[in-house]
Amino acid sequence: MYQEIGLQTKSKYFSKSKSNFADLADFKFEKMTTDYLDIYHKINESDMKSILNFAIYLYHMR
């Protein structure tokens, strides 16, 4: 997750939002959730969304 989010504009999930500032919407959140649930199938969807929200905040927005 860190590596993928750290790629910023080069990430396959990056999709620049209309905001001039870093935003959660800069990443295709639903696609990330689906893909990471396929990899980490023991994590439920609600927890994965929480993890991704925090990871995007931590590695992209700060």
Structural domain of 9: 2-61
pLDDT of residue 18: 86
pLDDT of 6 > 80? The answer is yes
Residues 35-59 have a mean pLDDT of 97
Question: Which amino acid appears at position 6 of this protein?
Answer: G
Query: How does pLDDT run across 7-38, given as a tens digit for each residue?
Result: 999 999 999 888 888 888 999 999 999 999 99
pLDDT of 62 > 80? The answer is no
pTM over 0.75: yes
Q: What is the DSSP secondary structure assignment for residue 19, as one 8-state letter?
A: -
Q: Angle at the Cα of 58 (from 17 to 45), degrees rounded to 5?
A: 80
Number of domains in the chain: 1
pLDDT of residue 23: 87
Q: How many residues are recorded in the chain? A: 62
Based on its alpha-carbon atoms, the radius of gyration of the chain, rounded to whole angstroms, reads 11
Contacts of 26 (CB under 8 A, 6+ apart): 14, 15, 16, 17, 19, 56, 60
